[in-house]
Amino acid sequence: MVRVTPDDRVPEIWLAATPQDEAVSAVLDIIPEGWAASLVQRQLSEEHAAALNMKREKSGNISRPDRLAIPLRGS
């Protein structure tokens, strides 16, 4: 999970279907310039991952076949 701070300064939580050490870079690649991103230390639960059509791979990474990173609205 990545905390994204857009121009309006209201933080959002984004989910990155990448290894944890690549999550911030993946999100920075797709958000507008000037927005900030930082890693959230808490990991997504198995139940939440399943509800979002994400799955944990044997490596422990969570993947989602159709998107690399998605905003989690209502956070």
Report in angstroms the alpha-carbon separations of 47 from 2, 44, 75.
18, 8, 17
Check residues 55 and 10 and name the one with the higher pLDDT. Answer: 10
At 11-38, the pLDDT tens digits run: 988 888 788 888 899 889 888 999 999 9
Confidence of residue 75 (pLDDT cuts 50, 70, 90): very low
pTM (predicted TM-score): 0.67
CA dihedral 55, 70, 10, 42 (to 10 degrees): 20
The Cα 38–Cα 28 span in angstroms is 9
